[in-house]
């Protein structure tokens, strides 16, 4: 899995290195106006933080990365000190050159920069993460990357042009392929947090990608459900949903629906019509349509209440080394917004017990979202 299965020749990729050794990649739009050359990062930076430690909760089996370096992250800086903007004389940011889309290793990662030994056995490493014991620790191996959707200071994925959205999707596919090939990586997770209500600390349009050294708890619960119900569980659920009343958007290759048992006031799942385990395995035609369909979905979500909606857009991908024929790529978009001026807060039942109570009937939300999506431009 060291080579990208499918790559778009219209989107050029330029590799570079930041002054502290972190990797930086530029992805050029198919219709870019940028020259191919890129500036050198001439900053004097402190050494990268040591790789964090993971500690296991023996009562759940969950791993918690104790990443103290994250305490030093920049929080809501002024536009002139935007760390994700191209460098300027007054702003020694993370990206030396003007760009269309840029991806770089996080300066304060939750996982990495250390990786497993190149000859490490992935199956043995995965089995070790599933053992249960008291005061077990493991290094937080892996990688965390930042994906900048635009050099502009404000916006989100849904505010980008179709060409730019397509470039971001290509970056996700490229990075998924390369990150899943790194030693010790068990799952790759691209995501976007949007809005201060979600906890966003930078208004710059961007997302992140985590490459975990274990299969995440949410995915492990899915694997447990598949083990109980059978390997066709996801295919059966998708088929039922796409033939049901909660579909909000249909395309040739992708469709979106509000799930039957939605947890959040706004919750939409976007799925490919065929089985693919992750973004790296999508075709160019699927990526081209995704740029249109996903952008329209996000604009429809904003149109639901007429103002930008806070959300988490989470690309659930199959584990790297197991169940790739059973776990289908799914975008799960969730928002706590339950009315124009109200948010759902996770209080006692949800936060403490994981026992969810839905505030909005999924069928009612699907109907409202369909109407909102129909009212936005493609």
Q: In which band, very low, low, confident or very high, does the pLDDT at 73 lie, cut at 50, 70 and 90?
A: confident
Instruction: Specify whether the CB–CB gap between 142 and 117 falls below 8 A.
Output: no
Report pLDDT digits (tens) over 97-109. 999 999 999 999 9
Residue 252 has pLDDT above 70, yes or no: yes
Q: Mean pLDDT over residues 245-257, rounded?
A: 98
pTM beyond 0.75: yes
Report pLDDT digits (tens) over 272-293. 999 999 999 999 999 999 999 9
Mean pLDDT score of the chain? 96
Report pLDDT digits (tens) over 348-371. 999 999 999 999 999 999 999 999
Residue for token pair 């778009």: 8
Q: In which band, very low, low, confident or very high, does the pLDDT at 72 lie, cut at 50, 70 and 90?
A: confident
Q: Mean pLDDT over residues 85-95, rounded?
A: 96
Share of the chain above pLDDT 90, in %: 93
The 3-state secondary structure of the chain reads CCCCCCCCCCCCEEEEECCCCCEEEEECCCCCCCCCCCCCCCCCCCCCCCCCEEEECCCCCCEEEECHHHHHCCCCCCHHHCCCCECECCECCCECCCCCEEEEECCCCCCCCCCCCCCCCHHHHHHHHHCCCCCCEEECCCEEEEEECCCCCCCCHHHCCHHHHHHHHHHHHHHHHHHHCCCCCCEEEEEEEECHHHCCCCCCCEEEEEEECCCCHHHHHHHHHHHHHCCCHHHHHHHHHHCCCCEEEECCCEEEECCCCCCCCEEEEEEECCCCCCHHHCCHHHHHHHHHHHHHHHHHHHHHHCCCCCEEEEEECCCCCCCCCCCCCEEEEEECEEECCEECCCCHHHHHHCCCCCCCCHHHHHHHHHHHHHCCCC
| pLDDT on residue 2 | 41
Residue 74 has pLDDT above 90, yes or no: no
Question: Looking at 174, 204, 206, 269, which residue is catalytic?
Answer: 206
Q: Mean pLDDT over residues 327-344, rounded?
A: 97
Report pLDDT digits (tens) over 149-204. 999 999 999 999 999 999 999 999 999 999 999 999 999 999 999 999 998 989 99
Q: In which band, very low, low, confident or very high, does the pLDDT at 3 lie, cut at 50, 70 and 90?
A: very low
Among 73-77, 101-105, 114-118, 308-312, name the one with the lowest average pLDDT: 73-77
Residue 137 has pLDDT above 80, yes or no: yes
Catalytic residue flag (residue 273): no
Q: Contacts by 227-230 with C-beta closer than 8 Å and gap 24+?
A: none
Domains of the chain in start order, with CATH, are 13-140+148-173+199-208 (no CATH), 219-374 (3.30.428.10)
């Amino acid at each position: 899995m060291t080579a990208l299965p499918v790559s778009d020749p219209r989107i050029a990729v330029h590799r570079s290195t930041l002054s502290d050794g972190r990797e930086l990649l530029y992805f050029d739009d198919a219709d870019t106006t940028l020259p191919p050359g890129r500036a050198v990062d001439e900053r004097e930076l402190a050494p990268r933080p040591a790789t964090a430690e993971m500690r296991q909760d023996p009562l759940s089996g969950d791993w918690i990365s104790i990443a103290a370096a994250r305490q030093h992250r920049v929080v809501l800086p002024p536009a002139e000190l935007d760390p994700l903007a191209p460098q300027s004389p007054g702003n020694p940011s993370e990206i030396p050159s003007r760009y269309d889309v840029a991806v770089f290793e996080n300066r304060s990662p939750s996982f990495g920069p250390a990786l497993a030994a190149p000859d490490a056995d992935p199956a043995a490493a995965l089995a070790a993460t599933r053992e249960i014991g008291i005061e077990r620790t493991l290094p937080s191996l892996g990688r965390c990357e930042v994906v900048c959707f635009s050099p502009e200071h404000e916006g989100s994925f849904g505010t980008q042009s179709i060409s730019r959205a397509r470039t971001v999707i290509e970056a996700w596919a490229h990075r998924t392929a390369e990150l899943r090939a790194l030693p010790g990586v068990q799952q790759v997770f691209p995501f976007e947090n949007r809005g201060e209500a979600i906890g966003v600390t930078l208004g710059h349009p961007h997302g992140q990608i985590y490459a975990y050294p274990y299969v995440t708890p949410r995915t492990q619960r899915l694997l447990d459900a598949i083990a109980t119900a059978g390997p066709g569980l996801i295919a059966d659920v998708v088929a039922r949903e796409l033939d049901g009343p909660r579909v909000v958007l249909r395309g040739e290759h992708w469709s979106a629906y509000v799930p039957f048992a939605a947890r959040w006031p706004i919750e939409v799942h976007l799925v490919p019509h065929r089985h693919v385990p992750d973004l790296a395995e999508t075709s160019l035609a699927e990526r081209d349509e995704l740029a249109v369909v996903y952008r329209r979905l996000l604009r429809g979500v904003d149109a639901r209440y007429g103002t930008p909606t806070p959300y988490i857009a989470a690309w659930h991908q199959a584990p790297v080394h197991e169940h790739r024929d059973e776990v289908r790529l799914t975008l799960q978009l969730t928002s706590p917004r339950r009315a124009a001026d109200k948010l759902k807060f996770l209080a006692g039942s949800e936060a403490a017990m994981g026992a969810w109570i839905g505030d909005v009937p999924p069928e009612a939300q699907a109907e409202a979202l369909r109407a909102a999506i129909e009212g936005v431009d493609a």
